Amino acid sequence: MTVHVVLREEELAVGEARLVAVGERELVVYRLQDGFYALNNYCPHQGAPMLAGRVGGTNAPSDVYCYRYDRDGEIVRCPWHGWEFDIKSGRSLFSERVRVRSYPVVVEDGKVGIRI
């Protein structure tokens, strides 16, 4: 695997996302509170661009008539049909078998690289 440097750390603030290209791949780099994460810019359902997805939280399991919003800033919601994905792993929130491909991100000397 090779590390492809795609941007500098200071180019992306916490809570922001950026589209980058590595060869033929379009990837989205997200900066969360605890670091950088990279997902394919392609929803596994019908191919929507994940960059256009709203980043927020999700409804956590709770008692009847209770509402518990959780994981704010860690979940991306597909812009076309609303499937939710964990930015840190690419996993959908509804199935272990559905995921956006994710890639390890390496930060070194202020440079953000994706290992592919």
Q: Which of 8, 68, 81, 101 binds ligand FES (CB under 6 A)?
A: 81
Q: Does 42 bind ligand FES (CB under 6 A)?
A: no
85 binds ligand FES (CB under 6 A): no
Torsion of CA 42, 44, 48, 49, to 10 degrees: -20
Is 46 a residue that touches ligand FES (CB under 6 A)? yes
Q: How far is the CB of 52 from ligand FES (least distance, A)?
A: 10
Q: What is the CA radius of gyration of the chain?
A: 15
Site string for ligand FES, 12-41 (x = CB under 6 A): ------------------------------
Tokens 């860690």 identify what position? Answer: 74
73 in Cβ contact with 55 (< 8 Å): yes
CA pair distance 69, 49, nearest whole angstrom: 25
Q: Report the residue number, 19 or 48, with the smaller CB distance to ligand FES.
A: 48
* Cα four-point dihedral sign 97, 100, 49, 44: negative
Among the listed residues 20, 27, 75, 78, the single contact to ligand FES using CB under 6 A: 78
Report how far Cα 13 is from the mean position of its chain's Cα atoms: 14
Contact residues for ligand FES (CB under 6 A)? 43, 45-46, 48, 78, 80-81, 83
